[in-house]
Amino acid sequence: MGNVTLLEVARRARVHPSTASRALGPGYAKYVGEATRRRVLRAAKELGYRPNAIAQGLRKGRAGVIGVVVVDFEHPFTAAVLRGMEISLEAVGLMPLVAETHESSARLEQALDHLVDRRADAIITTAARFPDAEVVERVARRVPLVLAVRSLPGSQLPTIAHDDMAGGAMAARHLLGLGHRRVAELCGPLDVSSFVQRQAGFRSGLAEAGVSEVAFEISATSGTIDEGKRVAAALLERTPELPTAVFAHNDLMAVGAIDAFAEAGIRCPQDVSVVGYNDMLLADHLVPPLTTIRLPSFHLGRLAAEMTHSLLETPDSPPPTISLPPSLVLRGSTSAPRRPNRVQSLPVA
Amino acid sequence: MGNVTLLEVARRARVHPSTASRALGPGYAKYVGEATRRRVLRAAKELGYRPNAIAQGLRKGRAGVIGVVVVDFEHPFTAAVLRGMEISLEAVGLMPLVAETHESSARLEQALDHLVDRRADAIITTAARFPDAEVVERVARRVPLVLAVRSLPGSQLPTIAHDDMAGGAMAARHLLGLGHRRVAELCGPLDVSSFVQRQAGFRSGLAEAGVSEVAFEISATSGTIDEGKRVAAALLERTPELPTAVFAHNDLMAVGAIDAFAEAGIRCPQDVSVVGYNDMLLADHLVPPLTTIRLPSFHLGRLAAEMTHSLLETPDSPPPTISLPPSLVLRGSTSAPRRPNRVQSLPVA
DNA sequence: TTGTAAGCGTTATCAG
DNA sequence: CTGATAACGCTTACAA
């Protein structure tokens, strides 16, 4: 496992290590004689030399790595965001170093510290929750940091997110346009900007038509099928007069909600319309196919990476804030309300 | 952004840097006077000292990082495998550095080289295809390497994979048990061990009952819905007498196949049974719910990481080969064949 | 228990 | 165009 070092390459090419370094590196290669360069290159190839990125990193003070913090690889759009970042980072020779938080503040802090320790050139986090603001700001003082997907209120940090306010409003307008007047919301965790924005957008969309949503204070602790089911069941239990439409803060929750409704004998979309969020894989293969809000996640990933890169190139430019518009995907889980619901008590699973 | 170094901590604590190092590191802390240690710890905290992992890595010769190569974050079980690895790596203070290949050999090589350059302590790859064998073996000579999920035929490298042979056989026996005798297979790319094994297992399962599958030479270039649809459409086009059951090499392809069948007016499971593979998220929410083979992917991730770790601890132990048994998940996409199919020509979408 | 000194593999800087 | 030298920040024999 003895690794070939620059010194050995230099010896074989009969040059000084620094000459070998110049010949191999892109920046200084022109200051090396053509013949010498060839010799060095050949020696390197023959020995199977690979530069030690750790030593380079120590010397140059940068690791050539961008730290990326995500909630979960299984999260609906994590893969798309990551792929976008990867593609645009690769173009500039940077490698993403990815860490998961699983929605735990402790793990977020740990991941950020890890990345700081590794001297990541910059960090992109898509996992910030409101209680993490202090930690994030602390880290941002040590290394350029970009907030992606999830923003932090009042933060001056460069931010790129989906326009969830617009997404929520879209959902509201769609439902209103269909004729719904009695609507409810199945909220995701409200310590995350995405869900707060969706809620605000949804409510303001309703308000435009003078409608206000069914009061209901329970929100999901995570955006999963089980949580969607639990929250929807609670809605059934607590709401005397059932809403004719429901806006779920993500597709998985929408699926859970539809499950809960079905178990109570309430059909979607005949008895209740459901709008999801994310347009996840297979959303179009469910029954009914899910009407949902589609997010330009791949694009967001690209832009986040580009923003990060330009932040490194031009550290003193004003921190940008980008917001990406979503779009409505019409499918079968929404339709006009059948008729005003009667007060009814329904069995709960 | 001037980062605090050990030297500054040492100065503030009025000790020599080496003493500071000992006080801070876990191994030598006991050789430091209690009072001194306290002073160093306090100084470090006050200055917000964070050890430079790059410098540590250079000095110690190890980066404290395990390189992990995956095909795609969106791949059905990547997330589960990764989470398994992460959990067991974290327990021993190692961090996964993840790279994607998108099923490209060039990217695989690039990713492996990147990881070698970063002096990853070890590499786990779940993305190897047969043509990559040479590259993988080359890299394995420089750094401990574990083949996970996808094995390489004839390779002596430590390997941990799903028992796809058993999975394929399970699918075959299930279909045979239901009474099917005319069955076909929708294969994934056959330069990947997983799919070759599934095929071999399926065929041998059939052979036990003296059945052989419908001859059909087209295989998918990737395990996606679109590819499943394409291959299934080709099957419809080329097979005069339609099979009563189909084994798709993964769930997404199964979904695509069911789509293609539906477009041709062939219902699942009434006219054709379909078995998938992976038990992906939402497989139970499709229509019909997918009968499929479930893989212990989280467990595989854990074990792969443990194997890697013990490989580092005990480099001279014989390279283990582990195979993890899958299980059959019975759902609605399979049923007894209605009756022997007549020869028929069918419209293709 | 603490200090000394050397060096991990590179590259920036300065001479030549 | 090439060589010498020092330094990036840290750990670890070894000496005291």
Question: Tens digit of pLDDT for each residue in B89-117?
Answer: 988 888 888 889 999 999 999 999 999 99
Can you list the residues of chain B whose pLDDT is less than 50?
A: 1, 341-349
Looking only at the bridges linking them, the beta strands covering B145-148 and B321-324 are unpaired
Amino acid identity, residue A221?
T
Beta carbon of B35 within 7 Å of strand C? yes
B-chain residue closest to A80, CA distance: B74
User: How close are the terminal C-alpha atoms of chain A, in Å?
Assistant: 61
- Say which residue the tokens 């997330």 belong to: B79
Å: A148 CA to C16 C1': 52
Query: CA-to-CA distance for B293 and B276, rounded, in angstroms?
Result: 7
Note the pLDDT of residue A2: 60
Phi first, then psi, for residue B69 (nearest 5°) are: -110, 125
Q: Is the pLDDT of residue A86 over 60?
A: yes
pLDDT at A319: 84
Q: pLDDT value at position A92?
A: 86
* Other Cβ atoms within 10 Å of B313 Cβ, number: 9
For nucleotide D11, give the residue with the nearest CA to its C1': B59
Please state, rounded to an integer, the average pLDDT across all residues of chain A: 93
Say whether residue A99 is in contact with chain B using an 8 A CB cutoff.
Answer: yes
Structure tokens at B211: 């059945």
Q: How far apart are the CA of B25 and the nearest CA of chain A, in angstroms?
A: 14
Q: A137-143: long-range contacts (C-beta < 8 A, 24 or more apart)?
A: A139/A112, A139/A113, A142/A116, A142/B1, A142/B3, A142/B50, A143/A115, A143/A116, A143/B1
Whether a cis peptide bond, with omega within 30° of 0, leads into A76 is: no
* pLDDT of A155 above 70: yes
Sole residue written with tokens 């779009």: A327
Tokens 């080359």 identify what position? B138
pLDDT for position B340: 54
Give the pLDDT of residue B300: 98
Residues A209 and A215: beta-carbon distance below 8 Å: no
| Per-residue pLDDT tens digits for B196-247 | 999 999 999 999 999 999 989 899 999 999 999 999 999 999 988 999 999 9
Q: B329 has which bridge partners?
A: B292
Pairing mode, if any, of strands B292-294 and B327-329?
antiparallel
In this complex, which of A50, A79, A118 lies closest to B74 when CB atoms are compared?
A79
Contact B51 A117 (CB under 8 A): yes
> Residue B331 has which token pair?
């759902």
Q: Could you count the other beta carbons within 10 Å of the beta carbon of residue A86?
A: 24
Q: Where are the alpha helices (DSSP H) in B184-224?
A: 193-208
Q: For residue B209, how many other CB atoms are within 10 A of its CB?
A: 13
Question: What average pLDDT score do residues A227-248 get?
Answer: 96
- Per-residue pLDDT tens over the stretch A27-81: 788 888 989 999 999 999 999 999 999 999 999 988 889 999 999 988 878 999 9
Neighbours of B26 (CB within 10 A): 7
Nucleotide nearest to A58 (CA to C1'): D8
Q: How far is the CA of A42 from the C1' of C15 (A)?
A: 28
Q: Report chain C positions within 7 A of protein CB atoms.
A: 1-5, 7-13
pLDDT at B346: 44
A330 CB-near residues (< 8 Å, 6+ apart): A174, A291
Whether B344 and chain A come into contact, CB under 8 Å, resolves to: no
Q: What value, to the nearest 5°, has the Cα angle with vertex A79 and ends A77 and A80?
A: 70
Q: Which pLDDT score is estimated for B342?
A: 44
B140 to each of A199, B115, B116, B168, how far by Cα in Å? 51, 12, 10, 30
Structure tokens at A311: 């932040």
Q: What is the pLDDT of residues A280-303, one digit of tens each?
A: 999 999 999 999 999 999 999 999
Query: pLDDT digit string (tens) for A54-63?
Result: 999 999 988 8
Note whether B52 contacts A281, CB cutoff 8 Å: no
Q: Which residues of B touch A57 (CB under 8 A)?
A: 54
Any idea what DSSP says for residue A278? B
Residues of B in contact with A100 (CB under 8 A): 82-83, 86
Helix ranges (H only) for A53-104 are 53-60, 78-90
Q: Of B170, B174, B180, B179, which is closest to residue B201 (Cα–Cα)?
A: B170
d(CA B254, CA B247): 8
**A219 CB less than 7 Å from any atom of strand C:** no
> Which pLDDT band, with edges at 50, 70 and 90, does A205 fall under?
very high
The candidate with the shortest Cα–Cα distance to A228, out of A294, A275, A295, A173, is A275
Q: What does the block give as tokens for B208?
A: 């036990």
Helix ranges (DSSP H) in chain A: 6-13, 17-24, 34-47, 53-60, 78-90, 105-117, 133-140, 164-178, 193-208, 225-238, 251-263, 297-313
Give pLDDT, residue A21. Answer: 94
Q: Say if CB B24 and CB B40 are below 8 A apart.
A: yes
What pLDDT does A340 receive?
54
Among the partner-chain residues A3, A57, A100, the one whose CB lies closest to the CB of B54 is: A57
Percentage of chain A beyond pLDDT 90 is 83
Sign of CA dihedral A24, B122, A64, A143: negative
CA distances (Å), B320 to each of B16, B141, B143, B178, in order? 46, 17, 17, 37
What is the length of chain A? 349
